[in-house]
Structure 1
Amino acid sequence: MADSGSKTEKATPKKRKDERKKGHAYSSKDIVNVASILVLYTLLKIMFPFSYSRLSIFVEKYMGYASSVDSITDAFSFQILVDCIWAFVYIALPISLISILVAVVATGFQTKFLFSMESLKPKFNRMNPIEGFKRLLSLKSFVEVVKGSIKIAIICVIIYNFFKSRIYNFSQSPFMDISQSAAYLLESVVDLVYRISIIFVFVAGLDYLYQRWDYEKQIKMSKHEVKEEYKQLEGDPKIKGKIKEQQRKFAMSRMMQEVPTADVVIKNPTHFAVALRYDIEKDRAPVVVAKGQDEMALRIIKVAESNGVDVVENKPLARAIFSSSELNMEIPAAYYAAVAEILAVIYGMKNKRG
């Protein structure tokens, strides 16, 4: 029982496949977050001229309405709604869609694009307060707290140093042209994000290694589980042994039925026995129809004698053919001459007996 409870064995391929069917796979959220943030702010920087132009047109249009429109009608309200939707489509929608796509791809690469309906099913055990308390006190929760604290500390240090180096430039931004000021602020924010992301790439790599280690630990199996899985895949060894025993008995039974068809049995004298058949019209050389050792050899000799098959004692030849020949196969060419002499004597004796 102690052996069945200790999970010390690596997960088998079947175990891993079953876990994937349940929707279980390891991935680092930090990798997804870093990739999404880098792409998001890079797109903001690239698309800033276009986005600024579209936003300026939108603002100027409705700032002009402030002095010319006396009342807001239903049609005017609908026009405002349409313009807001189009502004969102031009400015925010492409960036949002690409960011979502990056998050999906980053997660997919880690999980090999795993999708399982099992993960969508409600898990009522998560509503158990005792289980929730255990999760709070688990090693994984402790690691997440430590990781979060390190992230906050890194972000605070980077932001402090960043603003310290640019405090003068920020103080001058109100005196710049609005487009220049916005471009400078966006460039500063993107630069800050890049600085933070460079550090977080390293953190995300460590988190990925930890998630993989934790996943491998969770899916480990006990020796008892490995044995049970082997039984399910390969069948119970006891049952397989019985099947093999039955097959062996059946093969032996068929072999013994072939002994009466043999022309000669060569023995040594009780340890080995080989039954040979030679049909000059069908066989190119003598064929081994039965062979056995010890008890099986005695059975072959007994069946041969009871069916009138000649039994010849030749110790070296019997042992040599037994070792080098398979059932229902021709004997090696090296023994043709020796077997031919024996068969010639037997055929001669049969001719004399008429």
Structure 2
Amino acid sequence: MSDAHDKTEDPTSKKLTDTRKKGQIARSKELSTALVLVSSALALMFMGSYIAEAMFKISQRTFTLSRDETYDYNHMFQAWGHALETVSMSVLSFLVIIAIAGIYGNIALGGYNFTWESASPKASKINPLAGFKRMFGMNGLVELLKALAKFVVVAAMAYLAMVIFHDEALHIDMELYPMNLFHAMDLISWGFLIMCCALIPIAAFDVPYQAWKHDKEMKMSKQEVKDERKNSEGDPQVKSRIRRLQYQAAAKRMMQQVPTADVVVTNPTHYSIALKYDQMGTTAPILVAKGVDELAMHIRKIANAHDVPIVESPMLARAIYYSTEADHPIPEKLFMAVAQVLAYVYQLKAYKKGKGKRPKALRKDLPIPPELRR
């Protein structure tokens, strides 16, 4: 297991994706709590009067019953319906604002992430040793300091609210009804807002701390990065064996095409190029096989066994080898040089059949562009 001091590398995208699937993302409970409480206080300030007015209507309706209505069971249910209808809109709006604040507070840091894996039971969560380690570790100390800070700051803000609204609160009972009800709701809203604002500096500290903590936990050691790259890209020995098998398969496939070639151009000792040209077609000459050293010798051996002409042109052989892949047409810049080779081969075949003169030796200075010379 890597030591924490060895984890100096930034996390890879794969690790970030895997840990996110496990639910390991940066989260700040203080930010969520602060947003919910501050939003609740602001919503109470703007909607408190509506809620107070609804409560006033409900109390006015329920405390002004006639004698007949008091003994009427049906009227009781009507009164309940009236109370629900009166208060539902304001209370429902208040709850919607709190719900939106709660959802946004939970995804503001780290983004939206839903996974069942984080909710699955884990032995480490009920392990006493792991619990003690969390309690007395660095994270436990920070949580203790935050709890003490919240207590001190909230108590200080509560005391400030009591000092500010002390006189008004004591004189509410001297005000006329229902103005005292609205005034009390106003005092409660402001006092609640002041106390909730005490959580803003706590959240302002906790957000960067949680982001820093998450980044630190995601750090990887150099060995972990190497191991992950090895696992994702595959074992180098396995990859080497796969490449070797692929090369052998490609070489076998090319050797099967050599007998169909019109000419083999050689270096003559290191390179061999097998070309095929369809005189009735319109495509350029096709490279059907190529090889160096042992594979080049094998191509020449197959060509001799199947009477495929072999022409020595070191510069052209190297140019085609490095510029063209098997089963692909040669570059347009080599058309003229290859045309001269094919013309020589066709004339040589005709001469051997007694249908023409012996062709002149192939020119050594074939027209090969400088950028294709090797």
- Normalising by structure 1, we get a TM-score of 0.81
Aligned to 1:50: 50
Matched-pair contact (CA < 8 Å) for 2:2–2:221: no
Instruction: Give yes or no for the alignment of 1:280 onto 2:257.
Output: no
Aligned to 2:258: 259
Matched-pair contact (CA < 8 Å) for 2:52–2:185: no
Instruction: Give yes or no for the alignment of 1:250 onto 2:241.
Output: no
Q: Against the structure 1 CA distance between its residues 216 and 184, is the aligned structure 2 distance closer, same or farther, given a 3 Å change threshold? A: same
- Describe the superposition over 1:13-53 as per-residue Cα deviations: whole angstroms up to 9, x where unpaired: 34333333333332212222222222222232233333223
- Describe the superposition over 1:231-272 as per-residue Cα deviations: whole angstroms up to 9, x where unpaired: 554443332321221111111111122222222222222122
Aligned to 1:23: 23
Matched-pair contact (CA < 8 Å) for 1:10–1:220: yes
What SS class does the counterpart of residue 327 from structure 1 fall into? coil
Whole-Å Cα distance in 1 between the matches of residues 3 and 166 of structure 2?
Answer: 64
Aligned to 2:329: 330
What SS class does the counterpart of residue 257 from structure 2 fall into? helix
- Describe the superposition over 1:154-173 as per-residue Cα deviations: whole angstroms up to 9, x where unpaired: 23333334443444444443
Write the letter of the residue equivalent to 1:23.
G
| More displaced stretch, 309-318 vs 245-254 | 309-318
Aligned to 1:204: 203
| More displaced stretch, 37-46 vs 170-179 | 170-179
Whole-Å Cα distance in 2 between the matches of residues 307 and 153 of structure 1?
Answer: 96
Instruction: Give yes or no for the alignment of 1:190 onto 2:208.
Output: no
Whole-Å Cα distance in 2 between the matches of residues 38 and 44 of structure 1?
Answer: 10
Write the letter of the residue equivalent to 1:36.
V
Write the letter of the residue equivalent to 2:183.
Y
Write the letter of the residue equivalent to 1:260.
P
Matched-pair contact (CA < 8 Å) for 1:262–1:276: yes
Whole-Å Cα distance in 1 between the matches of residues 176 and 350 of structure 2?
Answer: 126
| More displaced stretch, 286-295 vs 117-126 | 117-126
Whole-Å Cα distance in 1 between the matches of residues 207 and 92 of structure 2?
Answer: 30
Aligned to 2:314: 315
Whole-Å Cα distance in 2 between the matches of residues 149 and 3 of structure 1?
Answer: 32
Residues 106-255 of structure 1: matches in 2 within 5 Å?
Answer: 106-198=105-197, 200-230=199-229, 232-255=231-254
Q: Looking at both structures, which has the greater relative contact order when contacts are Cα pairs under 8 Å and sequence separation is at least 6?
A: 1
- Describe the superposition over 1:310-336 as per-residue Cα deviations: whole angstroms up to 9, x where unpaired: 222222222223233332233334433
Whole-Å Cα distance in 2 between the matches of residues 102 and 132 of structure 1?
Answer: 31
Whole-Å Cα distance in 2 between the matches of residues 120 and 88 of structure 1?
Answer: 37
Aligned length: 353
- Structure 2 residue ranges without an equivalent (≥5): 354-374
Whole-Å Cα distance in 2 between the matches of residues 308 and 341 of structure 1?
Answer: 20
Matched-pair contact (CA < 8 Å) for 1:289–1:328: yes
Q: Against the structure 1 CA distance between its residues 134 and 247, is the aligned structure 2 distance closer, same or farther, given a 3 Å change threshold? A: same
Q: Which structure has the highest helix share of the two?
A: 1
Whole-Å Cα distance in 1 between the matches of residues 19 and 332 of structure 2?
Answer: 57
Whole-Å Cα distance in 2 between the matches of residues 189 and 112 of structure 1?
Answer: 34
Aligned to 1:346: 345
Aligned to 2:367: none
- Describe the superposition over 1:140-184 as per-residue Cα deviations: whole angstroms up to 9, x where unpaired: 221112122222332333333444344444444333234444433
Whole-Å Cα distance in 2 between the matches of residues 111 and 274 of structure 1?
Answer: 59
- Describe the superposition over 1:74-127 as per-residue Cα deviations: whole angstroms up to 9, x where unpaired: 889878877776677466454335423431233244453333333433444333
| More displaced stretch, 75-84 vs 333-342 | 75-84
What SS class does the counterpart of residue 289 from structure 1 fall into? strand
What SS class does the counterpart of residue 272 from structure 2 fall into? strand
Q: Against the structure 1 CA distance between its residues 164 and 2, is the aligned structure 2 distance closer, same or farther, given a 3 Å change threshold? A: closer
Matched-pair contact (CA < 8 Å) for 1:256–1:300: yes
Whole-Å Cα distance in 1 between the matches of residues 84 and 100 of structure 2?
Answer: 21
Aligned to 2:300: 301
Aligned to 2:357: none
| More displaced stretch, 10-19 vs 141-150 | 10-19
Write the letter of the residue equivalent to 2:343.
A
Whole-Å Cα distance in 2 between the matches of residues 101 and 333 of structure 1?
Answer: 66
Write the letter of the residue equivalent to 2:173.
P
